[in-house]
Structure formats: structure tokens, C-alpha cells
Amino acid sequence: MSSSNSETIDWRVRAEQAERALVLHQLESERDLARAQRDVLQARVAALETANEGMRGRLEYLENRDGVKVEHGKSYQLVPKLDPRVVGKAD
């Protein structure tokens, strides 16, 4: 094998290695981006769950305060709870 042929083969091998390294780098970058997007979505889900819990608590407080139950956008008047100590006493 002549020196020129071995230099050509060496150049081709290095070019193929560089190309594989570039493809690997691109795949790693895509993976890192996908992980970052997943992390952002998980944070948004956690924030929405926290907000939902807060809204549920606020709704429950208002329902208890006003004696109204809200389900599926409709409100219902609740029957007041009677204190068993007061029931049956004459005024």
C-alpha cells in the first residue's frame, strides 16, 4: 500500500468518525431538549394541580359560607345543618 493510499484511507476514516460524532451530538442535543421540555411540562402540571387545589378549597369555603353547592356550573341551595342541641327546643 502506498503512502498516498493510506493517507486517503486515514482521511476517510477520520471523516466518518467526525460525521458519527456530529450525529451523536445532534441526537444528544435533541434528547436534552426533550428532557427540558418534559421538565417544563411537569412543572406546569404541578402548578396547575396546586392552583386547582386552591380553587377547590376556595369553592368549598364559599359553598359552606353561602349554603350553596356548585356542580357542573349549576348551583343548588343546601339545606342548613341543624344543631341537634337546638332541635326540639321551644322558643
The pTM of the full predicted model, rounded to 2 decimals, is 0.57
Q: Is residue 54 part of a domain?
A: yes
Q: Is residue 40 part of a domain?
A: yes
Residue 27 pLDDT greater than 80, yes or no: yes
Lowest mean pLDDT among 14-28, 42-56, 71-85: 71-85
User: Exposed/middle/buried for 63, CB within 10 Å: 0-12, 13-18, 19+?
Assistant: middle
Residue 84 pLDDT greater than 70, yes or no: no
Q: Is residue 39 part of a domain?
A: yes
For residue 39, what pLDDT is reported? 98
Going from the C-alpha of 6 to that of each of 9, 12, 20, 87, the distances in angstroms are 5, 10, 21, 104
Please indicate whether residue 66 or residue 21 has the higher confidence score (pLDDT).
Answer: 21
Cα separation, 13 vs 84, in Å, equals 90
Question: Number of structural domains, the chain?
Answer: 1
Q: Is residue 82 part of a domain?
A: no
Range of the domain at 52: 3-77
Q: Is residue 44 part of a domain?
A: yes
Residue 44 pLDDT greater than 90, yes or no: yes
